[in-house]
Every structure is written in C-alpha cells, then in structure tokens.
Homo-oligomer: A and B are copies of this chain.
Amino acid sequence: MFSFGQARQRIEEAIKGKQMLLVVGNCYVEYWGRAASKLPKGKRLLMIKGDSSSAIHQNRLLRPTNYMMNARISCEEQDNALVLSAKKLKPKESIKVFFYRVDDIQSYEMDSAADLRLFGSERELSNELMKDLSFLEEGLKPLKQEQAFRKGIADLIAEDKDGNIVVIEVKRRKADFSAVTQLQRYAKQVEKINGVKTRGILVAPEIMKNARDLLENYGLEYYSFDFEIGNPKTKIKGVQKKQPTITEFM
C-alpha cells in the first residue's frame, strides 16, 4: 500500500529515468481517441516503458486492454485517486488511469536491449525461393538480372520459358482471400504496365478452399511448398504445382 504522494514521487522518478515502470493497484481506465472505452474498477497492472509506451494489463490474454505509444505521460494526485494520464496528438488520443489504491510500484533500470533475430519470415522464404526459381518451374528466371533480388510491389517478378511475365506472391502460412486478391492486383498492375499477358503464381504451404476457388476464377496459379524452419536459415524442402481442379481431368 502506497500513499498517493509516495507513489507519485516514485512514478515520476522512474519515468524521468526512462525505467521500466510497473504499477499495480485498483483502478478505473478511460480511453478516448480512435475509439472510446471504459474499463470498470479492478486490480490491474500498468506498464510504462522507457520509450513512453504504456499498457494496462489484466490477468488474462496477451494483449493489454488499453495502451498507447509516443504519448506524454503525466501523474497527478486527486482527492481520492492517483491519476496517470497518457496523451498524444496525431491521432488525438488520451488514456486516464484512476488508481484508487496502489498496491505496488516497481521500476527497473534496463539496458538498451539487443534485438530479436527472427527466422522463417516471408521475406526470408522469398529470398530462398529466389535463389533457384527452377524450384518452382523449369526455365523460370528473374525478369531482369540486375534487379533479380529486389523486392518490389510483388514478392518476385520473373519470366517463364515461353517469355511470359510471372508475378509471384509468397505466403508463409495458409493463404486466404487477401493473398489471392493481392496477387490479382499485382498481376493486373504488371500486365497494365507491360501491356502483355501476365501469369500470377501464389506460393504458400496451404490455401483455404474458398480462396483457391477465387484464385482459379482469376486464372491464377497455386504452388504449395514445404519449408523447414531453421536457425540460422530456413530451408525450402519442396515446391509442388497444384493444377486447377478443372484441368486435372482433361
């Protein structure tokens, strides 16, 4: 249990020192900005980080109930509550946390943390595929040598053995509607720019049934692929062309 005066002093020190600050207590939270919300009184954890990002956590779920980035944070004592406010412009938003009881305050000096190294991202998979496009299809090659490994609006752009331009979109997980419509947009755009018929190929480990139907409607192609998530490098294990169901019986 902290008096609001004590609490306020500790909180302001921690914020000034860009420490990781944790405040636990009974509070009521209001948010107004991109939406509006009220969080009824209850015991919660307020986390304020050195970059001024702040979040209210309940004892469930990964995501905080309320949060804000790049806000100006202030702390004031009221009659029956310690009020922590976070405000920002652009977009205009504010959170007010009314602590009616402060159970605990902790603050920690943190080092500037080294960053996460992630493997198996879409970008990495795309790069791996690009190393050998024959994985996908015999005779497929980057559209222009000098921009072979460049990423543009589409994940990959190549040319098939018949000289057609091929737009390739890679997804690291089961492809859905949006993957298909995205590829469709890219293919149409490339077709318009170059003025020639363009193929569109979606490469993903799986594809949802309805998305597959849409893809075939658009005349696009689907290749499934397997990959093994590794460290430090993810490996493409195989790519397999999935014929549109219609042509499977021709």
Contact = CB atoms under 8 A, between A and B. Distances in A.
Quick one: copies of this chain in the complex? Answer: 2
A49 interface: yes
Interface stretch (A4-12, A111-119, A141-149, A162-170): A111-119
A20 B59 CA distance: 6
Interface string A47-79: 101110101011111101111010000000000
Interface stretch (A100-108, A132-140, A195-203, A237-245): A100-108
A51 B57 CA distance: 13
A108 B60 contact: no
A61 B57 contact: no
Nearest to A177: B185
Contact of A35 (B36, B64, B65, B229): B229
Nearest to A110: B59
A250 to B, nearest CB: 25
B119 A37 contact: yes
B231 A117 contact: no
Contacts of A2: none
Nearest to A214: B185
Contact of A69 (B34, B62, B119, B214): B62
Contacts of A178: 178, 181
B66 A59 contact: no
A177 B185 CA distance: 9
A43 interface: yes
B60 A67 contact: no
A39 interface: yes
Interface in A191-212: none
A29 to B, nearest CB: 8
> Nearest 3 CB-CB pairs, A to B?
A59-B110, A35-B120, A40-B114
9 contacts: A32-B229, A35-B120, A39-B114, A42-B111, A51-B60, A177-B182, A177-B185, A178-B181, A185-B214
